[in-house]
Amino acid sequence: MAELVWKNKHHPPVLPAQSLTSPSTLSSPSYQLTTTATYPQSHSSLSQPQPDSPSSPTTWYNQLILGDDQHILPLLAREYGATVDLIYIDPPFMTGRSFLSGVQVAYRDVWKNDLDAYIQWLYEIFVHLYALLAHDGSLYVHLDWRVAHYAKIMLDELFGFHPQQQGAGFKNEIIWHYQSGGRSQKHFARKHDTLFLYTKSAEYCFHPERIGERRGTQKRNHMRKEVDSEGRIVWTIRSAGRLYSYNEDTLITPSDVWSDIHHLHQKDPERTGYATQKPEALLERILLASSDEQDLVLDCFCGSGVTPIVAEQLGRRWIVCDQSTLALATTRERLLKYANIRPFTLRSISHAP
């Protein structure tokens, strides 16, 4: 199988190269996750920061974690290896820029033009996420034109490559098309992001009926347009000797080009002021399609907190991380605006004793 090679390529030390599935193979870390607060305050029973896990077999606390993914993900793999149902990540795109929220730096996406360093960093993230993903879990990776092609080759290496899409591995390259931004005079306008969908096995959660689009009155393919006795538009097509009929209210699975979800404009009520914030509708489609109620969702680049907000609304459990204190503060403030927010903990990285 084809493999991407870069300078100093190596598997992260927390996982042996020959085994990406067993959390028991993880080495002992020099860091630990410490619980520092519980929200809402009415649920707090922690007078002092506790190093233990905030969950038990009968009680679950959602988790908001501050720290570097290179330290957090191996620790999470020790607690939740092969149990996460859905992972969505929107990592830095290697833009070479620092992004501001007001006058504060939200995050720095500066790599000194060192593509090898960026790819190694992203590869290690993928390895840890693979270890966290459940057997029937799904991974969505959100990138753009700069590095998406490199990411796909790395993901094929980790998940396996199957040209007929049987078994584990690649399922979709989703194009999120939007209209924001200007137009270039030197090249075609770049107006889309790419989302890769990968699964760990052939048994994975997917519910197209939850995200179906109304067929509508627009002609599709070579279907024949008719009007029934009630005045409704009906589309018919004959295939293999059979006649198929669909009315305008029939739901169809969305294609892999999403142009109906709009980028957040400057005065959108969803906006928090956090740079590169994604719309809730984007995460809602992903969570509805690829998870069920009480499933565990992970986002290790939570940014403005869209993933936990949507997970809360849809009744999913969640773990989200970011190394930016601004991101954590923004996410916490958004969550606490909900009257019936389920309890969650704030955790951070500390050195193991």
The reported pLDDT for the residue numbered 21 is 44
pLDDT tens digits along 157-183:
999 998 877 899 999 999 999 987 778
Tokens matching residue 338: 């909900």
Residue 232 makes CB contacts below 8 A (sequence gap 6+) with 247, 248, 249
- Backbone CA torsion sign across 227, 228, 233, 238: negative
Tokens matching residue 326: 């601004």
Alpha-carbon distance of 200 to 206, in angstroms, equals 13
For residue 274, give Cα distances in angstroms to 61, 103, 106, 176, 270: 25, 11, 7, 20, 11
Alpha-carbon distance of 115 to 159, in angstroms, equals 22
Residue 8: CB atoms within 10 Å: 8
Residue 65 C-beta-side C-alpha neighbours within 13 Å: 28
Beta strands in 102-232 (DSSP E): 104-109, 133-143, 169-177, 192-199, 213-214, 224-227
* Ordered per-residue pLDDT tens for the chain, 353 residues: 889 999 999 988 644 333 444 444 444 458 899 999 999 976 654 433 344 455 544 589 999 999 999 999 999 999 999 999 999 999 999 999 998 887 788 999 999 899 999 999 999 999 999 999 999 999 999 999 999 999 999 999 999 998 877 899 999 999 999 987 778 899 999 999 999 999 999 999 999 999 998 887 776 677 888 888 888 888 888 888 898 888 878 888 899 999 999 999 888 999 999 989 999 999 999 999 999 999 999 999 999 999 999 999 999 999 999 999 999 999 999 999 988 899 999 999 988 87
Q: Which amino acid is at 340?
A: N
Residues 123/154, Cβ–Cβ less than 8 Å: yes
Q: Which amino acid is at 9?
A: K
Residues 155/198, Cβ–Cβ less than 8 Å: yes
The reported pLDDT for the residue numbered 182 is 78
Alpha-carbon distance of 203 to 57, in angstroms, equals 25
Tokens matching residue 280: 């809730």
Alpha-carbon distance of 299 to 321, in angstroms, equals 6
Scan for tokens 């270039």, then name that residue: 184
Provide the whole-model pTM. 0.89
The reported pLDDT for the residue numbered 13 is 66
pLDDT tens digits along 101-116:
877 889 999 998 999 9
Alpha-carbon distance of 351 to 49, in angstroms, equals 13
For residue 134, give Cα distances in angstroms to 77, 83, 143, 247, 319: 11, 4, 23, 38, 14
The reported pLDDT for the residue numbered 237 is 87
Beta strands 224-227 and 97-101: pairing type?
unpaired
Alpha-carbon distance of 48 to 8, in angstroms, equals 42
Residues 215/247, Cβ–Cβ less than 8 Å: yes
Beta strands 84-89 and 133-143: pairing type?
parallel
End-to-end CA distance of the chain: 43
Task: Estimate the share of the chain in helix, then strand, then coil, as percent rounded to the nearest 5.
Answer: 25, 30, 50
